[in-house]
Protein backbone atom coordinates (compact mmCIF):
# COMPACT_ATOMS: atom_id res chain seq x y z
CA UNK A 1 0.00 0.00 0.00
CA UNK A 2 1.20 3.51 -0.75
CA UNK A 3 1.52 6.29 1.77
CA UNK A 4 -1.55 7.97 0.30
CA UNK A 5 -3.71 4.93 0.87
CA UNK A 6 -2.44 4.21 4.39
CA UNK A 7 -2.72 7.82 5.51
CA UNK A 8 -6.47 7.68 6.23
CA UNK A 9 -5.88 4.55 8.34
CA UNK A 10 -2.99 6.21 10.15
CA UNK A 11 -5.12 9.29 10.82
CA UNK A 12 -7.99 7.24 12.19
CA UNK A 13 -5.72 5.21 14.47
CA UNK A 14 -4.20 8.48 15.68
CA UNK A 15 -7.68 9.68 16.61
CA UNK A 16 -8.44 6.51 18.57
CA UNK A 17 -6.58 7.76 21.63
CA UNK A 18 -8.52 11.03 21.56
CA UNK A 19 -11.83 9.24 21.30
CA UNK A 20 -11.02 6.58 23.86
CA UNK A 21 -7.96 7.39 26.02
CA UNK A 22 -8.14 3.90 27.54
CA UNK A 23 -7.08 2.54 24.18
CA UNK A 24 -3.32 2.34 24.52
CA UNK A 25 -2.24 0.77 21.24
CA UNK A 26 -3.73 0.18 17.84
CA UNK A 27 -2.05 -0.99 14.69
CA UNK A 28 -2.98 -2.53 11.37
CA UNK A 29 -0.83 -5.23 9.88
CA UNK A 30 -0.83 -7.61 6.95
CA UNK A 31 -0.62 -11.40 6.78
CA UNK A 32 3.16 -11.23 6.40
CA UNK A 33 3.52 -9.12 9.54
CA UNK A 34 4.07 -5.75 7.89
CA UNK A 35 2.68 -2.85 9.94
CA UNK A 36 0.76 -0.60 7.54
CA UNK A 37 -0.68 1.83 10.09
CA UNK A 38 -0.04 2.58 13.72
CA UNK A 39 3.12 2.70 15.73
CA UNK A 40 5.67 0.51 13.95
CA UNK A 41 7.72 0.06 17.11
CA UNK A 42 4.79 -1.44 19.00
CA UNK A 43 5.34 -4.92 17.59
CA UNK A 44 8.01 -6.73 15.61
CA UNK A 45 7.19 -8.18 12.20
CA UNK A 46 7.70 -11.76 13.39
CA UNK A 47 5.27 -11.26 16.27
CA UNK A 48 2.68 -9.62 14.03
CA UNK A 49 2.98 -12.60 11.71
CA UNK A 50 2.34 -14.98 14.60
CA UNK A 51 -0.67 -12.89 15.59
CA UNK A 52 -2.09 -13.21 12.08
CA UNK A 53 -1.46 -16.97 12.16
CA UNK A 54 -3.20 -17.40 15.51
CA UNK A 55 -6.18 -15.37 14.32
CA UNK A 56 -6.41 -17.33 11.06
CA UNK A 57 -6.37 -20.63 12.93
CA UNK A 58 -9.47 -19.58 14.84
CA UNK A 59 -11.05 -18.18 11.68
CA UNK A 60 -10.65 -21.43 9.73
CA UNK A 61 -12.75 -23.26 12.32
CA UNK A 62 -15.24 -20.48 12.87
CA UNK A 63 -17.45 -21.20 9.88
CA UNK A 64 -20.19 -22.71 12.04
CA UNK A 65 -20.52 -19.44 14.00
CA UNK A 66 -20.62 -17.45 10.76
CA UNK A 67 -16.94 -16.45 10.62
CA UNK A 68 -15.25 -14.07 13.02
CA UNK A 69 -16.69 -10.59 13.28
CA UNK A 70 -14.90 -9.69 16.47
CA UNK A 71 -12.39 -11.35 18.77
CA UNK A 72 -11.78 -9.92 22.23
CA UNK A 73 -9.41 -11.34 24.79
CA UNK A 74 -9.58 -10.15 28.38
CA UNK A 75 -6.46 -10.21 30.50
CA UNK A 76 -6.34 -9.24 34.17
CA UNK A 77 -6.08 -5.51 33.49
CA UNK A 78 -6.02 -5.25 29.71
CA UNK A 79 -8.19 -6.31 26.83
CA UNK A 80 -7.02 -7.18 23.34
CA UNK A 81 -9.02 -7.03 20.17
CA UNK A 82 -8.27 -8.42 16.74
CA UNK A 83 -10.36 -7.86 13.66
CA UNK A 84 -9.71 -8.68 10.06
CA UNK A 85 -10.88 -6.86 6.94
CA UNK A 86 -9.69 -7.59 3.39
CA UNK A 87 -6.57 -9.48 4.53
CA UNK A 88 -5.56 -6.75 6.93
CA UNK A 89 -5.65 -7.15 10.68
CA UNK A 90 -6.39 -4.51 13.27
CA UNK A 91 -5.02 -5.16 16.76
CA UNK A 92 -6.02 -3.00 19.70
CA UNK A 93 -4.88 -3.02 23.28
CA UNK A 94 -6.90 -1.16 25.86
CA UNK A 95 -7.48 -1.14 29.58
CA UNK A 96 -10.40 -3.10 31.00
CA UNK A 97 -11.98 0.25 31.94
CA UNK A 98 -12.48 1.12 28.26
CA UNK A 99 -16.02 1.48 27.00
CA UNK A 100 -16.66 -1.82 25.23
CA UNK A 101 -19.27 -0.32 22.89
CA UNK A 102 -16.95 2.51 21.89
CA UNK A 103 -14.05 0.16 21.20
CA UNK A 104 -16.34 -2.07 19.17
CA UNK A 105 -17.64 0.87 17.15
CA UNK A 106 -14.08 1.93 16.34
CA UNK A 107 -12.69 -1.50 15.57
CA UNK A 108 -15.69 -3.21 14.00
CA UNK A 109 -17.25 -0.30 12.13
CA UNK A 110 -14.94 2.67 11.55
CA UNK A 111 -11.69 0.92 10.61
CA UNK A 112 -13.25 -1.79 8.40
CA UNK A 113 -15.24 0.94 6.60
CA UNK A 114 -12.11 2.96 5.96
CA UNK A 115 -10.19 -0.10 4.80
CA UNK A 116 -13.03 -0.83 2.37
CA UNK A 117 -12.98 2.78 1.19
CA UNK A 118 -9.24 2.78 0.71
CA UNK A 119 -9.53 -0.43 -1.28
CA UNK A 120 -12.31 1.00 -3.39
CA UNK A 121 -10.40 4.17 -4.15
CA UNK A 122 -7.22 2.26 -4.99
CA UNK A 123 -8.34 -1.26 -5.98
CA UNK A 124 -5.27 -1.87 -8.11
CA UNK A 125 -2.97 -1.33 -5.14
CA UNK A 126 -4.79 -3.76 -2.92
CA UNK A 127 -4.94 -6.52 -5.50
CA UNK A 128 -1.72 -6.23 -7.48
CA UNK A 129 0.98 -3.79 -8.35
CA UNK A 130 0.46 -3.94 -12.12
CA UNK A 131 -2.16 -1.48 -13.27
CA UNK A 132 -4.21 -2.54 -16.22
CA UNK A 133 -5.47 0.64 -17.90
CA UNK A 134 -8.64 -1.12 -18.96
CA UNK A 135 -9.36 -2.46 -15.53
CA UNK A 136 -8.54 0.76 -13.74
CA UNK A 137 -11.64 2.26 -15.25
CA UNK A 138 -13.86 -0.58 -14.11
CA UNK A 139 -16.16 0.36 -11.31
CA UNK A 140 -16.40 -2.62 -8.97
CA UNK A 141 -19.48 -3.19 -6.79
CA UNK A 142 -19.51 0.39 -5.63
CA UNK A 143 -22.70 2.27 -6.16
CA UNK A 144 -21.89 5.46 -8.03
CA UNK A 145 -24.58 7.99 -8.71
CA UNK A 146 -24.16 10.70 -11.27
CA UNK A 147 -25.93 13.76 -9.96
CA UNK A 148 -28.28 15.12 -12.62
CA UNK A 149 -26.93 18.39 -13.93
CA UNK A 150 -29.10 21.44 -14.27
CA UNK A 151 -26.97 22.80 -17.05
CA UNK A 152 -25.22 20.85 -19.80
CA UNK A 153 -23.14 18.05 -18.36
CA UNK A 154 -19.40 18.33 -18.47
CA UNK A 155 -18.06 17.12 -21.77
CA UNK A 156 -15.57 14.57 -20.54
CA UNK A 157 -18.25 12.44 -18.94
CA UNK A 158 -20.18 11.77 -22.14
CA UNK A 159 -17.15 10.98 -24.27
CA UNK A 160 -16.22 7.34 -24.48
CA UNK A 161 -12.44 7.40 -24.32
CA UNK A 162 -10.51 5.23 -26.71
CA UNK A 163 -7.47 5.36 -24.47
CA UNK A 164 -7.16 6.61 -20.96
CA UNK A 165 -3.94 8.33 -20.07
CA UNK A 166 -5.16 9.09 -16.58
CA UNK A 167 -2.24 7.15 -15.20
CA UNK A 168 0.17 9.90 -16.26
CA UNK A 169 -1.41 12.21 -13.67
CA UNK A 170 -0.71 11.93 -9.96
CA UNK A 171 -3.29 9.80 -8.18
CA UNK A 172 -6.24 11.98 -7.12
CA UNK A 173 -5.81 12.89 -3.45
CA UNK A 174 -8.64 11.84 -1.17
CA UNK A 175 -9.72 14.43 1.37
CA UNK A 176 -12.05 13.95 4.27
CA UNK A 177 -14.61 16.70 4.84
CA UNK A 178 -17.43 17.37 7.21
CA UNK A 179 -20.76 17.96 5.50
CA UNK A 180 -22.50 21.29 5.88
CA UNK A 181 -25.91 21.64 4.34
CA UNK A 182 -26.53 24.70 2.18
CA UNK A 183 -29.71 26.06 0.74
CA UNK A 184 -31.31 29.24 -0.53
CA UNK A 185 -32.42 30.85 -3.74
CA UNK A 186 -28.93 31.60 -4.98
CA UNK A 187 -27.59 28.13 -4.33
CA UNK A 188 -27.35 25.84 -7.33
CA UNK A 189 -28.72 22.45 -6.40
CA UNK A 190 -26.09 20.52 -8.37
CA UNK A 191 -22.95 22.28 -7.18
CA UNK A 192 -21.07 21.60 -3.98
CA UNK A 193 -18.66 24.00 -2.34
CA UNK A 194 -15.28 22.79 -1.20
CA UNK A 195 -12.64 24.30 1.12
CA UNK A 196 -10.70 26.73 -1.14
CA UNK A 197 -7.30 25.67 0.25
CA UNK A 198 -7.91 22.10 -0.85
CA UNK A 199 -9.04 23.23 -4.31
CA UNK A 200 -5.85 25.28 -4.59
CA UNK A 201 -3.78 22.21 -3.75
CA UNK A 202 -5.56 20.27 -6.48
CA UNK A 203 -4.76 23.06 -8.95
CA UNK A 204 -1.11 23.01 -7.91
CA UNK A 205 -1.01 19.25 -8.31
CA UNK A 206 -2.57 19.08 -11.76
CA UNK A 207 -1.33 22.37 -13.21
CA UNK A 208 -3.23 23.38 -16.33
CA UNK A 209 -5.66 20.50 -16.18
CA UNK A 210 -9.07 21.90 -15.46
CA UNK A 211 -10.89 20.04 -12.72
CA UNK A 212 -14.63 20.46 -13.08
CA UNK A 213 -16.03 17.64 -10.98
CA UNK A 214 -15.48 16.03 -7.62
CA UNK A 215 -16.35 12.54 -6.49
CA UNK A 216 -17.98 12.48 -3.05
CA UNK A 217 -18.21 9.22 -1.17
CA UNK A 218 -19.89 8.60 2.16
CA UNK A 219 -18.52 6.21 4.77
CA UNK A 220 -21.46 3.95 3.91
CA UNK A 221 -20.16 3.60 0.34
CA UNK A 222 -22.62 5.86 -1.53
CA UNK A 223 -20.91 8.10 -3.98
CA UNK A 224 -21.81 10.89 -6.36
CA UNK A 225 -20.00 12.96 -8.92
CA UNK A 226 -20.88 16.63 -9.16
CA UNK A 227 -19.64 20.08 -10.02
CA UNK A 228 -17.93 22.15 -7.38
CA UNK A 229 -16.69 25.59 -6.54
CA UNK A 230 -14.35 26.76 -3.79
CA UNK A 231 -15.69 28.31 -0.60
CA UNK A 232 -14.35 31.80 -0.18
CA UNK A 233 -14.43 32.49 3.53
CA UNK A 234 -11.65 34.63 4.93
CA UNK A 235 -12.13 33.64 8.57
CA UNK A 236 -11.12 30.04 7.99
CA UNK A 237 -14.55 28.68 8.93
CA UNK A 238 -14.56 26.62 5.75
CA UNK A 239 -11.57 24.51 6.82
CA UNK A 240 -12.37 20.84 6.36
CA UNK A 241 -15.91 21.62 5.24
CA UNK A 242 -17.86 20.66 2.16
CA UNK A 243 -21.13 22.49 1.62
CA UNK A 244 -23.68 20.30 -0.10
CA UNK A 245 -27.17 21.26 -1.30
CA UNK A 246 -30.18 19.26 -0.16
CA UNK A 247 -30.63 17.41 -3.45
CA UNK A 248 -27.13 15.91 -3.40
CA UNK A 249 -27.43 15.13 0.31
CA UNK A 250 -30.52 13.08 -0.52
CA UNK A 251 -28.69 11.32 -3.34
CA UNK A 252 -25.84 10.43 -0.99
CA UNK A 253 -28.23 9.62 1.85
CA UNK A 254 -26.11 11.65 4.22
CA UNK A 255 -26.71 14.73 6.33
CA UNK A 256 -25.20 17.71 8.10
CA UNK A 257 -22.21 16.87 10.28
CA UNK A 258 -21.37 13.54 8.63
CA UNK A 259 -17.94 12.79 7.17
CA UNK A 260 -17.40 12.21 3.46
CA UNK A 261 -14.37 11.44 1.34
CA UNK A 262 -13.85 13.80 -1.61
CA UNK A 263 -11.46 13.52 -4.50
CA UNK A 264 -11.14 15.52 -7.70
CA UNK A 265 -12.20 13.85 -10.94
CA UNK A 266 -9.28 14.15 -13.32
CA UNK A 267 -10.45 14.57 -16.89
CA UNK A 268 -9.62 11.73 -19.21
CA UNK A 269 -7.27 12.93 -21.92
CA UNK A 270 -7.86 11.42 -25.29
CA UNK A 271 -4.86 10.29 -27.16
CA UNK A 272 -4.59 11.99 -30.46
CA UNK A 273 -5.22 9.55 -33.22
CA UNK A 274 -2.90 9.89 -36.16
CA UNK B 1 -0.94 -47.15 30.86
CA UNK B 2 -3.52 -49.88 30.72
CA UNK B 3 -4.90 -48.71 34.03
CA UNK B 4 -5.37 -45.15 32.74
CA UNK B 5 -7.02 -46.38 29.58
CA UNK B 6 -9.44 -48.44 31.63
CA UNK B 7 -10.22 -45.46 33.81
CA UNK B 8 -11.35 -43.44 30.78
CA UNK B 9 -15.04 -43.71 30.16
CA UNK B 10 -17.74 -41.78 28.37
CA UNK B 11 -21.31 -41.53 29.49
CA UNK B 12 -24.18 -40.26 27.43
CA UNK B 13 -27.15 -39.49 29.57
CA UNK B 14 -30.75 -38.91 28.50
CA UNK B 15 -30.18 -35.19 28.98
CA UNK B 16 -27.67 -35.13 26.09
CA UNK B 17 -24.86 -34.34 28.48
CA UNK B 18 -21.63 -36.08 27.61
CA UNK B 19 -19.22 -36.66 30.46
CA UNK B 20 -15.65 -37.71 29.86
CA UNK B 21 -13.56 -38.36 32.95
CA UNK B 22 -10.41 -40.15 34.00
CA UNK B 23 -10.91 -39.72 37.73
CA UNK B 24 -13.44 -41.10 40.14
CA UNK B 25 -13.21 -38.15 42.50
CA UNK B 26 -14.16 -34.90 40.84
CA UNK B 27 -12.46 -31.63 41.71
CA UNK B 28 -14.96 -29.61 43.84
CA UNK B 29 -14.29 -26.46 41.77
CA UNK B 30 -15.04 -28.43 38.60
CA UNK B 31 -18.25 -29.76 40.10
CA UNK B 32 -19.30 -26.30 41.25
CA UNK B 33 -18.64 -24.78 37.81
CA UNK B 34 -20.51 -27.66 36.23
CA UNK B 35 -23.53 -26.85 38.39
CA UNK B 36 -23.35 -23.16 37.44
CA UNK B 37 -23.12 -24.07 33.76
CA UNK B 38 -26.15 -26.33 34.05
CA UNK B 39 -28.07 -23.26 35.23
CA UNK B 40 -26.54 -21.06 32.51
CA UNK B 41 -27.59 -23.65 29.93
CA UNK B 42 -31.22 -22.74 30.72
CA UNK B 43 -30.66 -19.07 29.91
CA UNK B 44 -32.12 -17.58 26.73
CA UNK B 45 -29.92 -18.00 23.70
CA UNK B 46 -27.43 -20.40 25.31
CA UNK B 47 -26.85 -23.35 22.98
CA UNK B 48 -24.49 -25.37 25.12
CA UNK B 49 -21.22 -25.50 26.93
CA UNK B 50 -18.01 -27.45 27.35
CA UNK B 51 -16.09 -27.54 30.59
CA UNK B 52 -12.79 -29.31 30.83
CA UNK B 53 -10.08 -29.72 33.39
CA UNK B 54 -6.87 -31.70 33.10
CA UNK B 55 -8.72 -34.93 33.88
CA UNK B 56 -12.38 -34.43 33.06
CA UNK B 57 -14.70 -32.83 30.55
CA UNK B 58 -18.44 -32.26 30.37
CA UNK B 59 -20.18 -31.31 27.15
CA UNK B 60 -23.79 -30.23 26.93
CA UNK B 61 -24.63 -29.05 23.44
CA UNK B 62 -27.88 -28.57 21.59
CA UNK B 63 -26.53 -30.27 18.48
CA UNK B 64 -24.96 -33.55 19.51
CA UNK B 65 -23.88 -34.35 15.98
CA UNK B 66 -21.63 -31.28 15.97
CA UNK B 67 -19.84 -32.04 19.22
CA UNK B 68 -16.46 -32.56 17.57
CA UNK B 69 -16.74 -29.28 15.67
CA UNK B 70 -17.60 -27.37 18.86
CA UNK B 71 -14.87 -29.15 20.84
CA UNK B 72 -12.21 -28.48 18.21
CA UNK B 73 -13.20 -24.84 18.02
CA UNK B 74 -13.08 -24.53 21.79
CA UNK B 75 -9.59 -26.02 21.86
CA UNK B 76 -8.36 -23.82 19.00
CA UNK B 77 -9.77 -20.69 20.60
CA UNK B 78 -7.96 -21.55 23.81
CA UNK B 79 -4.62 -22.17 22.06
CA UNK B 80 -4.81 -19.19 19.72
CA UNK B 81 -5.95 -16.80 22.46
CA UNK B 82 -2.90 -17.77 24.49
CA UNK B 83 -0.67 -17.18 21.48
CA UNK B 84 -2.24 -13.78 20.76
CA UNK B 85 -1.90 -12.77 24.42
CA UNK B 86 1.71 -13.90 24.43
CA UNK B 87 2.57 -11.90 21.30
CA UNK B 88 0.93 -8.81 22.77
CA UNK B 89 2.67 -9.29 26.13
CA UNK B 90 -0.41 -10.09 28.16
CA UNK B 91 0.56 -12.55 30.85
CA UNK B 92 -2.75 -14.10 31.81
CA UNK B 93 -6.08 -14.55 30.05
CA UNK B 94 -9.33 -14.44 31.98
CA UNK B 95 -11.70 -14.77 29.04
CA UNK B 96 -12.04 -14.55 25.28
CA UNK B 97 -15.10 -13.79 23.23
CA UNK B 98 -15.48 -14.59 19.54
CA UNK B 99 -18.46 -13.13 17.78
CA UNK B 100 -19.53 -14.54 14.45
CA UNK B 101 -22.40 -13.39 12.28
CA UNK B 102 -24.74 -16.01 13.72
CA UNK B 103 -23.26 -17.27 17.02
CA UNK B 104 -20.75 -16.25 19.63
CA UNK B 105 -18.48 -18.24 21.87
CA UNK B 106 -17.22 -17.29 25.30
CA UNK B 107 -14.08 -18.93 26.65
CA UNK B 108 -13.20 -18.56 30.33
CA UNK B 109 -10.37 -19.89 32.43
CA UNK B 110 -11.10 -20.49 36.08
CA UNK B 111 -8.04 -22.00 37.68
CA UNK B 112 -7.31 -25.29 35.93
CA UNK B 113 -10.76 -25.39 34.37
CA UNK B 114 -11.59 -24.07 30.93
CA UNK B 115 -15.14 -23.24 29.97
CA UNK B 116 -16.62 -22.59 26.53
CA UNK B 117 -20.17 -21.35 26.28
CA UNK B 118 -21.83 -21.34 22.86
CA UNK B 119 -24.68 -18.91 22.43
CA UNK B 120 -26.77 -17.00 19.96
CA UNK B 121 -25.56 -13.60 18.84
CA UNK B 122 -28.07 -11.70 20.97
CA UNK B 123 -27.43 -13.66 24.19
CA UNK B 124 -26.13 -11.65 27.13
CA UNK B 125 -22.55 -12.86 27.57
CA UNK B 126 -21.86 -10.35 30.37
CA UNK B 127 -24.57 -11.98 32.47
CA UNK B 128 -23.00 -15.37 31.81
CA UNK B 129 -19.56 -14.14 32.91
CA UNK B 130 -21.07 -12.74 36.10
CA UNK B 131 -22.94 -15.95 36.76
CA UNK B 132 -19.78 -18.04 36.33
CA UNK B 133 -17.72 -15.77 38.58
CA UNK B 134 -20.23 -15.80 41.45
What would the mean pLDDT of B74-85 be, rounded to a whole number?
Answer: 92
Is residue A42 scored above 80 in pLDDT?
Answer: no
**The model's pTM:** 0.57
Closest alpha carbon within chain A to B79 = A54
Give residue B108's pLDDT. 94
Report chain A's C-alpha Rg in angstroms.
Answer: 21
When pLDDT is averaged across residues A40-48 and rounded to a whole number, the result is 75
Pick the CATH number of A144-265 from 3.40.50.300, 2.40.160.40, 2.40.40.20, 3.40.920.10: 2.40.40.20
Using the predicted structure, report yes or no on whether residue B52 has a pLDDT greater than 50.
Answer: yes
**What number does CATH give the domain A3-125?**
3.30.450.30
Domain map of chain A by residue range? 3-125, 144-265
**Residues A84-143 pLDDT 10s:** 887 788 888 888 888 778 888 888 888 888 887 877 776 544 443 333 333 334 344 444
Check B69 against A55: CB less than 8 A apart.
no
Q: What is the pLDDT of residue B26?
A: 65
User: Average pLDDT over chain B, rounded to whole?
Assistant: 82
ipTM over 0.95 threshold: no
pLDDT at residue B111 greater than cutoff 60: yes
Class of the CATH domain delimited by B2-133: alpha beta
Q: How many CB pairs (< 8 A) connect A and B?
A: 101
Question: Is B98 part of the contact surface with chain A (CB cutoff 8 Å)?
Answer: yes
Within 8 A of B93 by CB-CB distance, chain A residues are 73-75
Whether B81 has its CB under 8 Å from any CB of chain A: the answer is yes
Please check the confidence at residue A158 and state whether its pLDDT lies above 90: no
Domain boundaries defined on chain B: 2-133
B91/A51 CB distance under 8 A: no
* Mean model confidence pLDDT for chain A: 74
pLDDT at A19: 81
Q: Please tell me the predicted confidence (pLDDT) of residue A141.
A: 44
Chain A residues inside the 8 Å CB shell of B98:
58, 62, 65, 68, 70-71
Percent of chain A clearing pLDDT 70 (strictly above): 74
Cβ contact B96–A70 (<8 Å):
no
Amino acid sequence: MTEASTKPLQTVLGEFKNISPELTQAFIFTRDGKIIAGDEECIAVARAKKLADAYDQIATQATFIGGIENLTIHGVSTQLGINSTNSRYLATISSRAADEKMIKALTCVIVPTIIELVDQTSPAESECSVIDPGQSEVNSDKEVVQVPQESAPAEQISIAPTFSSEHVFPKPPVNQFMVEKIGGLLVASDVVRVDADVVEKWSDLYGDTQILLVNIETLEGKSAMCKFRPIREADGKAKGIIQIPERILQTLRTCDGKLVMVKPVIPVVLEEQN
Amino acid sequence: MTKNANANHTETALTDIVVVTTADNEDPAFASLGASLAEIRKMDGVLGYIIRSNVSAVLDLAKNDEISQYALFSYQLDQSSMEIAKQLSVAEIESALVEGSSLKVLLMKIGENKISVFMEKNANHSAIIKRILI
